[in-house]
Amino acid sequence: MALLCVQQQELDSNESLMGDGDSAIGSLNSSTVSLREELILQVKEHGRQYQGYMEAKYVLPMDEQETERLDFQCHLVWLTLDKQQNWAPVKRLRRALDVGCGTGMWTVDFADAHPETEVLGVDLAAVQPECVPPNLCFEIDDLEQPWNFTSKFDFIHCQLMIGAFQDWPKFFKQSLEFLETDGYLEVHDIDFVIRCDDDTLPKDSALFRWHEYMHDAAATAGFPLDAIAHVPEMMKEAGYVDIVATPVKWPINTWPKDAKHKELGRWAQENFSWGCDSMSLALFTRVLGWSADEVHIFMALVRQDLRNRKMHAYWNFWVVYGRKPRTA
């Protein structure tokens, strides 16, 4: 599909960020305008760049190094889903929303695959490409605030938002409200609990301790890292039906024998070796009181464990989707 080059708009103007006010894409009202200056603030800490919104609410950096890793991680998810973009049996696709779209890699691919669909990607950070398919627009907004879209969606996609959302029940209520009847929400995320079925992961290893530190810091900061385990129940409580939850193992490296998990392990090892510093730096320094040097030294030990094929550890990556019933 030919790409439409979208000129970067001035974020301090008083007009809507994208599109016209009558479509789902041009859907945000003045609440977005009032947030813009906060949303585009940048904060530098320990050599990394963070979004400054709400005192750097988002704990992952948002610089070139991290956006490259996010694209890499998106490819890992695509491989996990057997090279598909979603598993929900969506029958009608007039409008679709990508929640926390990040660099927009999934969003662009989805818009390309569905040229008949009006696609909207929303994120806190303005790191999306300027050249996009003509049926796609991006907006900058905080989706933990009340949603103000003027139209509903047939499909809502939410990927790797563990560590970003604080109020998951609120997200499920709002997503249900803004779905059309028989529309689907699909969540892709990691259960950040390191697992091992044969006792080859010592509890005194850096990898095991890293997870304990991450959970302690994230819980204190209000970002539970094990939220995905409760997603099916929270979706049911919000009113979703026909909920399907499927775990797929992400090995820490290439230790598995079967081809698919060995390939997923190869990508997961690179993703977490690349990203353990960025995942930990803000949480460990802000919450646990570590120095940046202490974080970097400890992450070198974590990377050593990630390369150790004698450790048969893995994470569960979950694909969860549910439908909005007619009685919702």
Sign of CA pseudo-dihedral 106, 112, 115, 119:
positive
For the stretch 286-308, pLDDT in tens is: 999 999 999 999 999 999 999 99
CA distance 55 to 157: 27
Mean pLDDT, range 244-269, rounded to an integer:
98
pLDDT at 12 exceeding the cut of 90: no
State the SS3 of the chain: CCCEECCCCCCCCCCCCCCCCCCCCCCCCHHHHHHHHHHCCEEEECCEEEECHHHHCCCCCCCHHHHHHHHHHHHHHHHHCCCCCCCCCCCCCCEEEEECCCCCHHHHHHHHHCCCCEEEEEECCCCCCCEECCCEEEEECCCCCCCCCCCCEEEEEEECCCCCCCCHHHHHHHHHHCEEEEEEEEEEEEEEEEEECCCCCCCCCHHHHHHHHHHHHHHHHCCCCCHHHHHHHHHHHHCCEEEEEEEEEEECCCCCCCHHHHHHHHHHHHHHHHHHHHHHHHHHHHCCCCCHHHHHHHHHHHHHHHCCCCCCEEEEEEEEEEECCCCC
Which one has a higher pLDDT value, 258 or 63? 258
pLDDT at 312 exceeding the cut of 90: yes
pLDDT at 4 exceeding the cut of 90: no
Which one has a higher pLDDT value, 119 or 60? 119
Query: Which pLDDT score is estimated for 58?
Result: 64
CA distance 7 to 149: 23
Query: Which pLDDT score is estimated for 308?
Result: 98
Mean pLDDT, range 201-210, rounded to an integer:
98
Query: Which pLDDT score is estimated for 327?
Result: 84
pLDDT at 23 exceeding the cut of 60: no
pLDDT at 143 exceeding the cut of 90: yes
pLDDT at 52 exceeding the cut of 80: no
Mean pLDDT, range 124-139, rounded to an integer:
92
Query: Which pLDDT score is estimated for 99?
Result: 98
What are the phi and psi torsion angles at 45 (to 5°)?
A: -135, 130
Average confidence score pLDDT of the chain: 87
pLDDT at 228 exceeding the cut of 60: yes
Query: Which pLDDT score is estimated for 62?
Result: 76
Mean pLDDT, range 175-188, rounded to an integer:
98
Query: Which pLDDT score is estimated for 42?
Result: 61
Query: Which pLDDT score is estimated for 65?
Result: 84
pLDDT at 206 exceeding the cut of 60: yes
Please report, in angstroms and rounded to a whole number, the separation of the first and last CA atoms in the chain. 37
pTM over 0.95: no
CA distance 170 to 167: 6
Which one has a higher pLDDT value, 164 or 248? 248
Q: How many CB atoms lie within 10 A of CB 22?
A: 10
